[in-house]
Amino acid sequence: MKNSGWIIILFCNLTLTQAQDLFTEFDTIRLEEFTITQRIPLNDQSVLDLSRSSRFSSIDKINGRLEGISLIKRGAYALEPQMDGFSGGQINVTVDGMRMFGACTDRMDPVTSYIEPDNLESFNITHGTSGSRNGNTVGGSFDMILREPVIGQTEGMLVETGLGYESVSNGINANGALEVNREKWAFRTSGTYRNHNSYRGGDGIKVPYSYFKKINLHSVVKYDLGKNNTLRFDFLLDDAVDVGYPALPMDVGKAKARMYAVEIERLDAYRTVSQLKAKLYFNSVYHLMDDSNRDSTFRLTDENGAPSDTVYMRMDMPGWSDTFGFFMEGGASLGEKSHIYVKLDDYLNYSRAYMTMFMNYPEYPGEPPMYTETWPDVFRNVAGIFIRNTTRVSNSVNVNLEGRLDMSQTRVTSETGHRQFAIFGYDIDRGYFELPKSLNLSANFRTNGVTRLDAGAGYAERLPTTSEQFGFFLYNALDGFDYLGNPEIGLERSTHFWGNLHFTWPELKVSIRNRFSYVSDYIIGLIDPEIPQMNLYASGVKRYDNIPAALLYGTSLQLQWDPGAYLTFYTLLRYTYGRTGEGDPLPLIPPLRNTSICKFRKGIFSVQMEGEFSSDQNRINSGFGENPTPAFAIYHLRNSFHWLVKETVIEVGAGIENIFDKAYSEHLDWGNFLRPGRSIYLNLRVII
Amino acid sequence: MKRSSIIYTILCLLALSIVSCDKSDDPDDNDPDMVLIATAMTDAQTFQVALYANDTLFEGYNKLYISIKEASSTDQVTDAAIVLKPLMDMIDMVHAAPVENPAGVANEEGLFEAAVVFIMPSTDMMGWTLDVQVETADKDETAVFEIPLVRSLEESRKFNVISPLDETKYFVSLVEPMAAEVGINDCEFTVHYKESMMSFPPAEDLTIEIEPEMPSMDHGSPNNEHPVHTADGHYEGKVNFTMTGWWRIHMVIKKNGDVLTDDAYIDITLE
Ligand SMILES: [Cu+2]
């Protein structure tokens, strides 16, 4: 009842605020496939129009608006994507199908933080168990497709530069791109620089440690080898320094990522075999946490919990994650009505992280540093095969059957790591072998040109993450516990059902999506009162374990209306529900939310009004440090102008985000620190 | 000329050092963990006795390795009854210390293994002596060692407990060397009590509870095993260290259920 009331209020809101302004970063509704495309062919005036102010959006701002995606926020930067309540190791975040893993034991560096919208062509998002193309997953896959230049076509060269300013953080965004297209080859390089100070919340007070600075560079070269073969090299660099995390007891001094890939693609190789692709890649992530800007004074307590003394501590916490892998994929027609797609892949990940604590306890000067291995040299090799068969049963019905089998071997090579886990009764001096698998069956029905129904069911298993299996006293600032990995932890398993209904009329598109997961052996941290915590600020220890069951449900309503040539209305309403088998709410489940956009564009001018609305969230799990979050409504106004001067496009964007300076935070924001207050931004972009 | 003479000198020194290395078969040259403490002749000049330890001697439990050679032939004696008598002369009184005398036969390296718990460090004014009585089939002689130094440690390896029940004084020592590292560690303690100034027999009927802690971090470690008595006043248990750094092992010592002490500790730093 309460929820339906909300929906009415939201729609009223939308009508009231119509005729204000807009921005859609991408064409959000693509009914034919679960792909959300942000492709921006730069000479396409209409798409340019739509994507206007998006050029300086961070990838987080884009992700946060995607259907089924929410963001876990610990700072102003590097928000972690969550899909229908699944996050971390439950979802597969990949770049062009390449596996990559963050190097932070505290999940401060999700893979999405290494990609900028400037080098992003599109997302390939698949929900639940059906996202297993790039690796078995229970929560879905989030593949970021990198932009590539086009060979042949019209020979040309394109230079693009942009500069933006945001008042709330006194922040600068700058980017530049160069693309060269020739008959036999093409090259593209793009770079982004961002430098933001701590931003001001809606209450007028600066949110401490919410600053960040980063550069990102992506270069691609493509060669035409003839006979439909192309060779492609990718290089990506992302360096962030001095990134503050208001929700955590420490910041990041340095976060570095490098990515190298070489790919051969063969199109229409034979009549029946199509799209053969082979890719070899390596990526390396380095993450260094830094608490030198923090107070770092900790209070010791006596047996009764009363303060007894203070110590001063500095920590050195580096982490590395290197991934080397390859995959081969290809499709083939099996007769008239059937198509088969096969992917073979293998990756080797090497993750390690260490912690050294330097104490300065006045009573005990000169104390030696303390050292422990938080990820004790963990090697994991996963080889897999994925097969999908699509059969056209009739002109209106397609049936899709896909399966995947992975073979995983995990080994800890550090002697210290072995001894650390021996304390807890584990003998980890052996390889851990697993065979995660998945099977999905789905069908889509197209009635007339208007209605389409997708429905399916699937089962999948996923591997535990490095932290869940071998993490050693990883501090979680949300619930205040140290987390201990469980070497014997089992695979998480999900049975997943989904049903999506789409209506497409020329002026109106509507999508209703429903996804339900029954997860068994759900991996979660359980309090172990026997183990004393290690970090000074921790209140106990949780050990990762499999609990019998959890239920997750996600639904959304998406609507886009284009009445006439000048106006676009767009709204997305989404809701997620999660509980354990025993009925306790799962932690970090977003409440009912709505994003509504109204855009008017005419000639060189466009104006866009946006509203973001969230209900309160009182279904919380206080055992995981959650607090109830109140409802909020915020509004943004965006304007842009563009001129074509000979061959040059000049674009100016200006707007106000959080117009009414609302002091708010979203439910998935750790520690309830405030989101940015009112911010005025100004962008200039020139394309030659 | 000058340069060549320097080179010649260096060469000679090198040659000398090689030669001296080669001909030596003393344990401290073969085993870098072994330190020669002192040598002495027995009173009748029959045996040459050398005293080795894992480190220079310190206040606490010290393992000693005794080499006995016949002075005439330099043959190693491997069969002898050996009795150690440590003594400290404190001007107004003389006292001994707990000892563990060697078994009658030497180990594979020809050394007799023994132990002494030095219950106090030596000072400029007062030092330890150690009488080593060697009794073979046909000889019974004693070598007297002036122990050059018994260090007091920054991180104590021993503590004393005076029983609130009967004023008996107990000496609790960590058995060294303990190569402590991150993970599970065997830990062994000895407990002796003072029967008289000259007699320190092992205490074999105590219960010991341990609890490791990082004092500056306010945390401990799980799954430790309390030491239990094995033999001759030795108590063996397991202590777990989750990281390197400074650890303190808190100890509670009980006799027949009565607490002798509950605020004693031994510190261990892992590098
Ligand atoms: Cu981190």
Per-residue model confidence as pLDDT tens digits over A560-593? 888 888 888 888 899 999 999 999 999 999 999 9
Is residue B9 situated within a structural domain?
no
Question: What is the predicted pLDDT for the residue at A43?
Answer: 23
- Is the pLDDT at A420 greater than 70? The verdict is yes
Structure ipTM over 0.90, yes or no: no
Both B138 and B191 in a single domain? Answer: no
Model confidence at A15, in pLDDT bands (50, 70, 90)? very low
Question: What is the predicted pLDDT for the residue at A44?
Answer: 27
A363 Cβ contact partners less than 8 Å away, ≥ 6 residues apart: A309
Domain end residue (candidates: B117, B146, B175): B146
Model confidence at B19, in pLDDT bands (50, 70, 90)? very low
By C-alpha distance, which of A654, A645, A653 is closest to A688?
A: A645
Contact list, A368 vs chain B (CB under 8 Å): 244-246, 269, 271
> Percentage of chain A with pLDDT > 70?
89
B66 Cβ contact partners less than 8 Å away, ≥ 6 residues apart: B49, B50, B51, B52, B82, B102, B111, B112, B113, B114, B132
What is the A313 CA–ligand 1 centroid distance (Å)? 17
Question: What is the predicted pLDDT for the residue at A5?
Answer: 34
Which residues share a beta bridge with A515?
A498, A554
Is residue B153 situated within a structural domain?
no
Q: Looking at residues A487-496, what average pLDDT do you find?
A: 96
CB contact B182 to A (< 8 Å): yes
Question: What is the predicted pLDDT for the residue at A41?
Answer: 24
Both B113 and B73 in a single domain? Answer: yes
Model confidence at A447, in pLDDT bands (50, 70, 90)? confident
Q: Please tell me whether residue B6 adopts helix, strand or coil conformation.
A: helix
Is residue B20 situated within a structural domain?
no
Convert the pLDDT of each residue in A33-89 to its tens digit.
Answer: 223 332 222 222 333 333 434 456 666 776 677 777 888 888 888 889 999 999 999
Q: In what order do the strands lie in the sheet with B183-193?
A: B158-162, B169-174, B183-193, B234-241, B225-229
How many structural domains are present in chain B? Answer: 2
What is the pLDDT of chain B when averaged over all its residues? 84
Question: What is the predicted pLDDT for the residue at B11?
Answer: 47
Interstrand relation of A91-95 and A140-146 (parallel, antiparallel or unpaired): parallel
Which residues share a beta bridge with A310?
A299
Model confidence at A153, in pLDDT bands (50, 70, 90)? low
Is residue B71 situated within a structural domain?
yes
What is the A531 CA–ligand 1 centroid distance (Å)? 24
Contact list, A367 vs chain B (CB under 8 Å): 216, 245-246
> Closest approach of chain B CAs to the CA of A307, in angstroms?
11
Domain of B211 in residue numbering reads as 158-270
Q: Do A531 and B222 touch (CB under 8 A)?
A: yes
Both B118 and B199 in a single domain? Answer: no
Is residue B164 situated within a structural domain?
yes
Both B117 and B224 in a single domain? Answer: no
What is the pLDDT of chain A when averaged over all its residues? 85
Domain end residue (candidates: B126, B146, B166): B146
* B157 touches B58 (CB < 8 A): yes
Question: What is the predicted pLDDT for the residue at A32?
Answer: 26
Both B131 and B204 in a single domain? Answer: no
Q: Is the pTM of this model over 0.90?
A: no
Is residue B17 situated within a structural domain?
no
Q: Do A473 and B242 touch (CB under 8 A)?
A: yes
Alpha-carbon gap, residue B218 to A302, rounded angstroms? 9
- CB-side neighbour CA atoms (13 Å) of A238: 24
Both B139 and B167 in a single domain? Answer: no
Contact list, A418 vs chain B (CB under 8 Å): 183
Question: What is the predicted pLDDT for the residue at A240?
Answer: 95
What is the B184 CA–ligand 1 centroid distance (Å)? 29
Contact list, B223 vs chain A (CB under 8 Å): 423-425, 530
Q: Looking at residues A661-678, what average pLDDT do you find?
A: 93
Concatenating the DSSP letter of every residue in B73-140 gives T-PBP-B-EEEEEEEEE-SS-EE---EEPPPSB--TTS-EEEEEEE-S---SS--EEEEEEEE-SS-E
Contact list, B271 vs chain A (CB under 8 Å): 368
> Closest approach of chain A CAs to the CA of B254, in angstroms?
22
What is the A528 CA–ligand 1 centroid distance (Å)? 24
What is the A669 CA–ligand 1 centroid distance (Å)? 16
Both B178 and B257 in a single domain? Answer: yes
Q: Looking at residues B64-86, what average pLDDT do you find?
A: 87
- The domain segmentation of chain A, as residue ranges, is 4-148+159-171+178-687
CATH class of A4-148+159-171+178-687: mainly beta
By C-alpha distance, which of A654, A564, A658 is closest to A605?
A: A654
Question: What is the predicted pLDDT for the residue at A412?
Answer: 96
Q: Looking at residues A181-210, what average pLDDT do you find?
A: 93
Q: Do A368 and B214 touch (CB under 8 A)?
A: no
Which of A423, A483, A535 is the best residue to mutate to test the B interface, defined by the most B CB atoms within 10 Å of its own CB?
A423
> Closest approach of chain A CAs to the CA of B219, in angstroms?
6
Q: Do A301 and B246 touch (CB under 8 A)?
A: no
Both B138 and B251 in a single domain? Answer: no
What's the one-letter identity of residue A535? N
Both B110 and B169 in a single domain? Answer: no
Alpha-carbon gap, residue B177 to B54, rounded angstroms? 7
H helix or E strand, kind and range, residue B250: strand B245-255
Question: What is the predicted pLDDT for the residue at B30?
Answer: 53
Both B132 and B210 in a single domain? Answer: no
With a CB-CB cutoff of 8 Å, which residues 361-380 of chain A face chain B? Answer: 361, 364, 367-372
Q: Do B269 and A368 touch (CB under 8 A)?
A: yes
Domain end residue (candidates: B146, B172, B204): B146
Q: Do A301 and B183 touch (CB under 8 A)?
A: no
Is residue B262 situated within a structural domain?
yes
Contact list, A353 vs chain B (CB under 8 Å): none
Please report the number of interchain residue pairs, chain A to chain B, with beta-carbon separation below 8 angstroms: 80
> Closest approach of chain B CAs to the CA of A423, in angstroms?
6
Question: What is the predicted pLDDT for the residue at B32?
Answer: 59
Widest distance between CA atoms in chain A: 81
Is residue B4 situated within a structural domain?
no
- Is the pLDDT at A11 greater than 50? The verdict is no
Closest partner residue to A416 among B182, B214, B222, by Cβ? B182
Closest partner residue to B223 among A301, A368, A423, by Cβ? A423
Residue predicted with more confidence, A637 or A562: A637
Q: What is the dihedral of CA A75, A78, A82, A87, to 10 degrees?
A: -100
Both B264 and B233 in a single domain? Answer: yes
Both B136 and B194 in a single domain? Answer: no
Alpha-carbon gap, residue B231 to A369, rounded angstroms? 37
> Closest approach of chain B CAs to the CA of A380, in angstroms?
23
Radius of gyration from C-alpha coordinates of chain B: 22
- Is the pLDDT at A17 greater than 70? The verdict is no
CB contact B220 to A (< 8 Å): yes
CB contact A156 to B (< 8 Å): no
- Is the pLDDT at A526 greater than 70? The verdict is yes
> Closest approach of chain B CAs to the CA of A124, in angstroms?
43
* B237 touches B225 (CB < 8 A): yes
Question: What is the predicted pLDDT for the residue at A640?
Answer: 85
